[in-house]
Amino acid sequence: MAGGLAQARVRERRVEAGAGAGEGDRGETQLAEVAFRGATKRFDGRAAVDHLDLDIADGELLVLLGPSGCGKTTALRLVAGLEEPDEGAISIGGQVVNDVEPKDRDVAMVFQSYALYPHLSVERNIEFPLRQRQVPADERRRRAREAAGSLGLTDLLDRKPRQLSGGQRQRVALARAIVRQPKAFLMDEPLSNLDAALRLQTRADIVALQARLGTTTLYVTHDQVEAMTMGHRIAVMDMGVLQQVAAPSDLYDLPANAFVAQFLGSPGMNLLPAVLEPGQPSARVSGGHLPLGEGAAAAAARAAPLVVGVRPEHLFLSPAGTLGATVLLVELLGAEVQVLCRLEDQTKLVVRQDASAPRPAIGEGVRVAASPGTVHVFTGEDGTRLGGPG
Amino acid sequence: MLPARSRRVRAVREAALGYLLVLPALAVFGVFVFYPFAQNFRLALYETPPYPGLPSRYVGLHQVGQVLTSSSFLQSLGATLLFVVIVVPAGLLGGLLLAVAAHRRLRGMTVYRLVFSSTVVSSVAVSALVFGTLMDPVVGLLPWLGLNPSPPILQNTTWALPAIAVMAVWQFLGLAFVVMSAGLSAVPEEVLEAARVDGASERTVFWRVTVPLLSPTIFFGLVVATIYAFGTFGQVDILIGYSNAAFEHVNLLVYDILNTIQVTKTPGQAAVLSIALFVLTLGVTLVQLRFIERRVHYGS
Amino acid sequence: MRYALLTLGAVVVLAPLYLTVVNSLLPPSALAERPPPFFPLHPRWHDYPVAWSQGHLGVYLRNSAIQTVIIVCGQLVTSVLAGYAFAFVRFPFRRVLFVVFLATLMIPFEVTLVTNTQTISSLGWYNTFEGLAVPFLATGFGTFLVRQAFLQIPRDLREAATLDGYGHLRFMLRVAVPLARPALAALGVFSFLAAWNQYLWPLVVTGSGDNVRTVQIGLKLLQGTQVSHTDVALAGTVIAVAPLVVLLVAFQKQLVRSLTGGAVK
């Protein structure tokens, strides 16, 4: 369930953005939560979305995150009605919409390629959704201009899409989505075609926009930095299956399984096959051992084989380290240094430490230590979390 | 509440729309292409009497055999095949050469391109009149060039067919040029340049690089040219006619069909000839597809 | 060197038409001169009005225009409708039907001549514009061309329009057709040329009288009656060709582009 926690987060951000704690510019009091209930979609026998259960709170910005092919775009298209579920139900605002046509669902979509009508001017592009809904001409123009204004497009109204830069086209696509004041926004990797600097700026703009409007938003991306900075919550998917849905910090600090652990973070969590040391709260790995907290050790005792995980920033080089490794690469990242090491069994380990710490040489044998309370334990079979960190 | 319509209903409505959109064209095709084509087979089996109003007699394959073995058919078959063999390669080659020649970024090239494509405006009647005059023994150009065959070209049993062929080729040149030019512009310039840098002469570049890369276009042109050549008849109608001494040698199949419809008024025979024409055209096209398409180099 | 070849080619291609124009401007006696004059020093425009009136070319041009416009409009409309269906609408047997459409290209018109004349006769359309135009209101080539053009439209655009509430018909009219305009223009030009230059069918389906006779048949008649006045016949030819030349000059770019985007690649 989205729960009160999600709602609280939504309200928090909206207050930050300067909107009231109410419904914002939507002007309607309808709730627009979105829900997946056992939704399944298959292509050629393979499940692109596999029995998905997910709730998005009214006004929430939920990010669907995962590697390509994980089913996030398909899930988005199920909400839009561009795909129909083979099993299960999609509901918007509490009503099951499986049989409702896309045009009647009152959702707006921002495509990765923007999908602007090349033969229409910016103004006409933005007006387009309104023409179908029999909105009178002057009202149409007013709303289009308003939407354009809120995205800084007022000077570009007469241009055609091919005369615009990537960032400008993106904003036109956004304007077209907001002009309808829909129940929900569906965004399919809208930033992936922009260059890095523009991406940063537009990210912030989208977050502010969403907070101000208070519209429920489903945002698809494969970029975890985007996900971490934008979403109220993140739903991580892999191979059509929902791995975990939680707030960014929870996802990072308490990953539900090994996949989430190594997907988030740059680089992701180090994962090592391990065996519980008999009688001690410690896990034996290739080249040494890592300390476990009591709870983690107890949980680990019930299952074997194990995988332990620890993030690079929680490791450091120290002569008293419990793990022996050989240095492969040392990368200077400004304030930090990233050291790629190799364990006895050829597993790679990434250590990140402060640039001021003594730097090893390539090929040198070093000892690695883990800060206390940072080691996670997962089962070796399917990667589910057992316990930790600690 | 949002309006909901089950998936099946929506699919049915969409299918209905699809059929509705296709209907107009399909209706035209049904009545004027497929029905007549099928009807040919039925007509071929019936002999119609010379007087209208009397019932036609079922004679089965007898009529088919009769027509196909008649001397007039064999004659037109021969003339048509000869005609096609002359016109198709000549037209394609001409178009290709013109296209290659004009495919340069030199000054005034637009004018040349316009000129080369200009014969697309010529119709059968136009080319007939134009060349008819040129070949006229009295006022034409040929006497001046020293060509003065006797009997005059358009009544000359040896030269009448080639004369018609020249007209057909000229008329086809414009289209051949446009098609070949379009294909040429799809040949990537870098490949040609690479070949030149590798030291190949222009001729080698042409035969070893351009032509293979152009082969899909050439093949397309081949099919189009063949169908066009088999359908030629207008010049014969305008310039030659039945009373002409050279008629037998220029009695192209389509002309024969027309003759059978309008003059002798025997639709049964016309139908047989039509089927023969179709089989011929299709047969040649299939042969092309089979043997020549194999050597066509698709993809880049 | 290159220019020499080009000029030679141009001469070969243009010569017939050029000479036709020249000859039409010369007095009949001059035509028999050796060498024939290549340039009319004193152009005689006399033949043109003669060709016009004697050859009834005014009427025939009008008839050709009517026939051609009907055919072009018909082909554009049926091709857009069918092309749209094949590109965007889902219905059973869609692929089969498309092959059927393409199959019509394999059946040369001459093969259907026999029955078509009977059909037109029995419909009472002999010697009428309906008889001239109706069999050609649809074309497999046109449908193919338009479908290709429609398929170029990115799928995103269709989906965006769907979400914006646009059903098929509105999408076709407001988005697909405007975006396919180059292909449609090319098809229009191509159809115009083909229809205007038709010879066989008008010959068969028009009888005596001037009400529907097209300019191509008119030329034939002009040739027949003007055995001793070739220059008049030639003038008639020039008149008949003139509209197309104008069309060609205006639309040559579209013509090439249509064949590039069509079946060639």
Contact (CB, 8 A) for C187 and C79: yes
pLDDT, position B249: 77
Cβ neighbours, 10 Å, residue B204: 14
pLDDT-derived band at A87, boundaries 50, 70, 90 = very high
CA triple A345-A346-A352, angle to 5 deg: 115
Place of tokens 């141009």: C10
Mean pLDDT by 10 residues, chain B (300 residues): 75 93 95 91 77 71 81 85 91 88 76 82 84 75 69 76 88 88 80 77 78 82 86 81 72 82 79 86 82 64
CA nearest A47: which of A209, A331, A240, A294?
A: A240
Minimum mean pLDDT range among A68-82, A196-210, A217-231, C25-39: C25-39
- Residue A86, phi then psi, degrees to nearest 5: -80, -30
Rounded Cα distance between B217 and B95, Å, is 12
List of chains touching B (3+ CB pairs within 8 A): A, C
Residues in A closer than 8 angstroms to B14, CB to CB, are none
Cβ pairs bridging B and C (under 8 Å): 280
Residues in C closer than 8 angstroms to A132, CB to CB, are 164-166, 170
Tell me the pTM.
Answer: 0.80
Rounded Cα distance between C86 and C109, Å, is 24
User: Which token pair is B176?
Assistant: 């051949």
Q: Does A113 touch chain C (CB under 8 A)?
A: yes
Mutation target vs C (from A100, A113, A126, A174; most C CBs, 10 A cutoff): A113
Q: Which residue of A lies nearest to B9 if distances are taken between CA atoms?
A: A99
Rounded Cα distance between B13 and B9, Å, is 6
Residues in C closer than 8 angstroms to B146, CB to CB, are none
DSSP 8-state code for residue B122:
-
Burial B160-199 (b: 16+ CB within 10 A, else e): bbebbbbbbbbbbbbbbbbbbbbbbeebeeeebeebeeee
Rounded Cα distance between A190 and A100, Å, is 25
Of C157, C163, C170, the CB nearest to A80: C163
H-run or E-run covering A85: none
How many residues are recorded in chain B?
300
pLDDT-derived band at A10, boundaries 50, 70, 90 = confident
Contact (CB, 8 A) for C229 and B283: no
pLDDT, position C228: 55
pLDDT over threshold 50, residue A372: yes
Mean pLDDT of C69-83: 96
User: Which token pair is B223?
Assistant: 């099919």
pLDDT-derived band at C71, boundaries 50, 70, 90 = very high
Cα Dmax for chain A:
79
- More confident of the two residues C63 and C23: C63
Q: Does C223 touch chain B (CB under 8 A)?
A: yes
pLDDT over threshold 70, residue A184: yes
- More confident of the two residues B145 and C7: C7
List of chains touching A (3+ CB pairs within 8 A): B, C
Q: Does C120 touch chain B (CB under 8 A)?
A: no
- Residue A311, phi then psi, degrees to nearest 5: -75, 150
Residue ranges per structural domain of chain B: 4-58, 71-295
pLDDT tens, position by position, C121-170: 899 898 889 999 999 999 998 999 899 889 989 989 999 999 888 889 99
Residues in C closer than 8 angstroms to A133, CB to CB, are 165
pLDDT-derived band at A175, boundaries 50, 70, 90 = very high
pLDDT tens, position by position, A91-136: 999 899 998 888 888 899 999 888 899 888 999 999 988 887 777 8
Of C157, C166, C179, the CB nearest to A115: C157
Give A229→chain B minimum CA distance, Å: 34
Q: Which residue of C lies nearest to B100 if distances are taken between CA atoms?
A: C6
pLDDT, position C227: 54
DSSP 8-state code for residue C126:
T
Place of tokens 């497999």: C140
- Determine the CATH number of domain B71-295: 1.10.3720.10
Q: Does C33 touch chain A (CB under 8 A)?
A: no
Cβ neighbours, 10 Å, residue C164: 25
Q: Does C156 touch chain A (CB under 8 A)?
A: yes
Contacts 24+ apart (CB under 8 A), C23-27: C23/B133, C23/B139, C23/C230, C23/C231, C23/C234, C24/C48, C24/C231, C24/C232, C24/C234, C24/C235, C24/C237, C24/C238, C26/C231, C27/C231
Give B17→chain A minimum CA distance, Å: 17
pLDDT, position B248: 73
pLDDT over threshold 90, residue A297: no
**How do strand A336-342 and strand A323-332 relate by DSSP bridges?**
antiparallel
Rounded Cα distance between C204 and C200, Å, is 6
pLDDT tens, position by position, A272-295: 998 888 877 888 888 888 888 877
List of chains touching C (3+ CB pairs within 8 A): A, B
pLDDT tens, position by position, C161-176: 998 888 899 999 999 9
User: Which token pair is B32?
Assistant: 């004027």
